[in-house]
Amino acid sequence: MSDFLVLGRDYETARRRLVEELKLQGVIKSRNVEEAMLKVPRDRFVPPHERIYAYEDTPLKVMLDQTISAPHMVAMMCELLELRPGLKILEVGTGTGYHAAVCAEAMYRKGIVYTVEYYPQLALYAVQNLAALRLLDCVKVFIGDGSKGLPQYAPFDRILVTAAAQYEIPKPLLEQLSPNRGIMVIPVEERPSIQILYRVIRNGDTYEKEAITYVAFVRLQQ
């Protein structure tokens, strides 16, 4: 049994213990990501029957066969994005809204996250969760095919994809990434059951692609 299994409702203590563990592991490196992970209550972004597991470092099922990413993956992806105040972010795969909330808090609510969810029911759930934390001023939720991005709001300083693209990075996302050192973090399923997390940095018309680690995400719906 994990040390982070919450008995009773002491979520704050469990959250702090988890963040300390992620710092010791070297996953959390920056002060703003640490503060965001401490501030955003993951227990509010999972179904009631999963809340006792909210601060285990593991993915959790939510609805429609979707998952909320493990805390270490959320922190890792935020660190790779090099978040700071004032950025315009596109997130593909809103889920329950947790990752978008962490991104917003890591920018100290001084930026904007446009997030796209394929499933309307999940998008509504995310809106409810974000509204409860008064985050809808800096997180805007859309329903649709996230692989097409949101061209009406492009370019984006950062693009975060929380579902695995099949075989290649969708071209619209590459096009919508800012040419002024825009950063994208995206998992790609390169062959069946093999997914790799990539960081892509764009400078002008040049894209630098770096493989980070093997991962396991749900597939990107298109």
CA torsion 116→117→118→120, rounded to 10°?
-130
30 is catalytic: no
Strand-pairing partners, residue 197, are 187, 213
Q: Tell how far CA 64 is from the center of its chain.
A: 18
Specify the residue for token string 């950025």.
Answer: 87
Total residue length of the chain: 222
Amino acid code (one letter) for 49: H
CB 42 within 8 A of CB 60: no
> How many angstroms separate the Cα of 68 from the Cα of each of 84, 96, 151, 216?
23, 7, 26, 12
CB 135 within 8 A of CB 101: yes
Cis peptide before 155 (omega within 30 of 0): yes
Options 2, 30, 69, 147, the catalytic residue: 69
Task: Return the ∠ at Cα 137 (arms to 184 and 87), rounded to 5°.
Answer: 30
Q: Which residues have a catalytic role annotated?
A: 69
